[in-house]
Structure 1
Amino acid sequence: MEKSGKELVQKVFSENKKAYVKSKTHAKGVDLMAIPHWLNLNVEDKLLDVATGGGHVAKIVSPYVKQVFAVDLTKDMLEEAAKHLKSLSNIHYIVADAESLPFLNNTFDHVVCRIAAHHFTSPYQFLKEVSRVLKPGGSFLLIDNIAPENASLDSFINSLEKLRDSSHNRSLKKSEWAHFLQEVQFTIMKEKERKKTLPFQDWLSRTLSDKTMQEQVYNFVLGADKAILKHYQVDHTRGKIDSIGLDEWMVLCEKL
């Protein structure tokens, strides 16, 4: 029997839990460092970190707020994050689905979700849940890989992501996210797009260890049109890919 989208997420993140804690892409990055500066954090605030993964967001906001609730669909991943952050006493760990959060309405002052939403089976339902658990006037910070508006570039990156990570659902276009955010009564307060350069082999190996399948990914990328390679800043020589540039969107919203 084929695994559902959520079961695939749990499988991939269980198998690669240590890699995500150690991943420089997740543990560092200008977007991660910017989070406390984008949010107006207060020592009495409660913050929800959705799909915490290696716990990197929870770690960086922990000194600024009273409580952090770090949730993740994958228990093994959450346990690894908790082990990594055992010295921080104000972080609570809860196994939870981003599309069905186990919290009362109007509970949190802030909600953050970083580099995770492209795994969600229903981004719209996720946003509805964020809006529900967030207090009126509260802030929601979303950071995720996005697909360009161009259909060919969109198709390429989502096909590539699915090849390297079976738990990938879809990187949405910015216009799709903006539409959903408006639907659930969020107002965009601040946003920033950037190109995120990733070491290709490290990015590939994090979710794909089979050498034959890795070769399929290499062939898929190297067989792409020049315009696609240029957009994604694919640095390659003699069949070796050194790095790739993904599009990332960081957007701060306020609940009406």
Structure 2
Amino acid sequence: MHETRSEKNHSGVVERQFGEQAVAYLSSSVHAEGQEFDQLRERLKGLCHARVLDLGCGAGHVSFRVSDLADEIVAYDLSPRMLEVVAGAAAERGLDNIRTVQGVAEALPFADDSFDMVCSRFSAHHWRDVGLALREARRVLKPGGVAAFIDVTASEQPLFDSFLQTVEMLRDTSHVRDYAPSEWAQMVGEAGLVMTSSTRQRLRLDFETWIARMRTPDVMRAAILHLQGQVGQEVRDAFEIADDGSFTTDMLVLWATREPF
């Protein structure tokens, strides 16, 4: 499947945004920590000789955290420089069951029924076509296999949704959309996967490290702070916006399965 010009343009924006900051994501506490890792490990313990796809792997934190429970992990990402960081860190840690593959989420270069588990963490909000990517995830997942999709999630309330999408785009021009839980449920179902559970967690974002990680230009940084100061109190309360710009948002941990034949 060949990329269209618009797909290449978006891919270029993503690589420009993340490639130069790949090492920063390896050391990011937001990406390296989280109670969802325990859930991933618990699910993998029940799978024998598992082959895992870390879809949109970023700096490889999922791959590293579950490497001792899988026979093989494929760390897959759009950014070649991110994958270089993953490969280097895996080699330093002696994790020889992790291999890297470059590509887009909407066109996975893997055979049907290839993986026992597909995991995606903090990646889907950059995908051009989440529905297509989810159908691809289902295609490469073995019948009876499990999938986990973990991402920042939008509110079902338009006011809060608009605020979140705006600050995300100002911070990172490769941002496409944070999806609400109802949107996730619909897209997962339309992709032919069966959702088995969905939980929300709160995620606190320190403003300065959140901005620095993306090297957000000063004009955009100032715009975010200005917007935070201009919104109503209900938005400030919902996101627990602090005077320094730090705020809290929701993240979704969604589990699904591909039904057996």
Please, what TM-score do these two structures have when normalized by structure 1? Answer: 0.94
Matched positions, count: 252
Corresponding residue number in structure 2 for 1:144: 151
1:189 deviation in Å?
A: 1.5
* Corresponding position: 1:228 with 2:235: yes
1:211 deviation in Å?
A: 2.4
* 1:55 aligned to which of 47, 54, 60: 60
1:201 deviation in Å?
A: 1.1
1:195 deviation in Å?
A: 1.1
Q: Where does 1:73-222 land on structure 2 (aligned, <5 Å)?
A: 73-86=78-91, 87-222=94-229
3-state SS of paired residue (1:168)? coil
For the Cα contact (< 8 Å) 1:5–1:167, is it kept in 2? yes
Coordinate RMSD, CA, aligned: 1.6
Q: Where does 1:3-42 land on structure 2 (aligned, <5 Å)?
A: 4-42=9-47
1:184 deviation in Å?
A: 1.6
Pair 1:15–1:189, CA change in 2 (3 A): same
3-state SS of paired residue (1:85)? helix
For the Cα contact (< 8 Å) 1:119–1:169, is it kept in 2? yes
Structure 1: state its 5+ residue gaps: none
3-state SS of paired residue (2:214)? coil
For the Cα contact (< 8 Å) 1:48–1:110, is it kept in 2? yes
1:90 deviation in Å?
A: 0.2
Structure 2: state its 5+ residue gaps: none
3-state SS of paired residue (1:206)? helix
1:65 deviation in Å?
A: 0.9
Corresponding residue number in structure 2 for 1:248: 251
Please, what TM-score do these two structures have when normalized by structure 2? Answer: 0.92
3-state SS of paired residue (2:64)? helix
Q: More deviation in 211-220 or 199-208? A: 211-220
For the Cα contact (< 8 Å) 1:5–1:169, is it kept in 2? no
Q: More deviation in 72-81 or 205-214? A: 205-214
* 1:72 aligned to which of 69, 77, 83: 77
For the Cα contact (< 8 Å) 2:152–2:250, is it kept in 1? yes
